[in-house]
Structure 1
Amino acid sequence: MATRTITKPRGRPNNRFGDRRIEVLRTAARVFSDLGFRQATLEDVAREIGMTRAALYHYSQSKDALLTACGDIARQELMEAVGHARREADGRARLTAFFQRYAEIVSEDFGRCFVLTDASEMAEDERTTSRKAQLALGNAAAEMIAEGIADGSLRSCDPRVASRLLFAAFNGVARWRNPPKDVAADFLDILFDGLAPRG
Structure 2
Amino acid sequence: MATRTISKPRGRPNNRFGDRRIEVLRAAANVFSDLGFRQATLEDVARELGMTRAALYHYARSKDALLTACGDIARQQLIEALGLSRGEPDGRARLAAFFRRYAEIVSEDFGRCFVLTDFSEMAEDERETTRKAQLALGKAVATMIEEGIADGSVRRCKPVVTSRLLYAAFNGIARLPAGPDRPPALEMADDFLEVLFEGLVPRS
* Identity value in percent: 76
The answer as to whether partners of 2:70 and 2:113 remain within 8 angstroms in 1 is yes
5 Å-filtered alignment, 1:160-179, equals 160-178=160-178, 179=182
- TM-superposed CA distance for 1:177, in Å, is 2.2
Contact 2:73–2:110, Cα closer than 8 Å, also in 1? yes
Q: Post-superposition shift, 1:63?
A: 0.4
Say which of 172, 176, 183 aligns to 1:180: 183
CA positional deviation for 1:7: 3.2
Q: Distance between the aligned counterparts of 1:128 and 1:36, measured in 2?
A: 19
Cα distance per residue 1:27-50 (max 9 Å; x no partner): 000000000000000000000010
Q: Residues of 2 paired with 1:57 and 1:42: CA distance?
A: 9
Please state whether the residue corresponding to 2:58 is helix, strand or coil. coil
AA aligned to 2:9 is T
Residue 196 of structure 1, CA deviation:
1.2
Q: TM-score, normalised by structure 1?
A: 0.95
The separation in 1 between residues aligned to 2:52 and 2:150, in whole angstroms, is 57
The partner residue of 1:195 within 197, 200, 203 is 200
Matches of 1:70 and 1:146 in 2, distance apart? 31
Q: C-alpha distance in 2, partners of 1:73/1:30? A: 14
Q: Report what 2:70 is aligned to.
A: 70
How far apart, CA to CA, are the structure 2 residues paired with 1:55 and 1:31?
17
- Given candidates 3, 9, 12, the residue that maps to 1:5 is 9
Unmatched runs of 5 consecutive residues or more in structure 1:
none
Residues 96 and 4 (structure 1), Cα distance of their counterparts in 2 relative to 1, 3 Å cut: farther
Structure 2 residue runs without a partner (length 5+): 1-6
CA distance in 2, matches of 1:61, 1:7: 25
Q: Please report the RMSD computed on the Cα atoms of aligned residues, expressed in angstroms.
A: 1.1
User: Hey, what's the Cα distance between the residues in 2 that align with 1:168 and 1:142?
Assistant: 14
Once the two structures are superposed, the pairs formed by residues 67-106 of structure 1 within 5 Å of their partners are 67-106=67-106
- Structure 1 residues 55-98: Cα deviation after superposition (integer angstroms, max 9, x where no partner): 00000000000000000000000010000001100000000000
**C-alpha displacement of 1:4:** 7.3
State how many pairs are aligned. 193
TM-score by structure 2 length?
0.92
Give the Cα–Cα distance (whole angstroms) in 1 for the partners of residues 168 and 176 of structure 2. Answer: 14
Distance 1:103 1:131 in 2: 20
Residues 154-198 of structure 1: CA deviation (Å, up to 9, x unaligned):
000000000000000000000112441200000000000111111
Corresponding residue of 2:153:
153
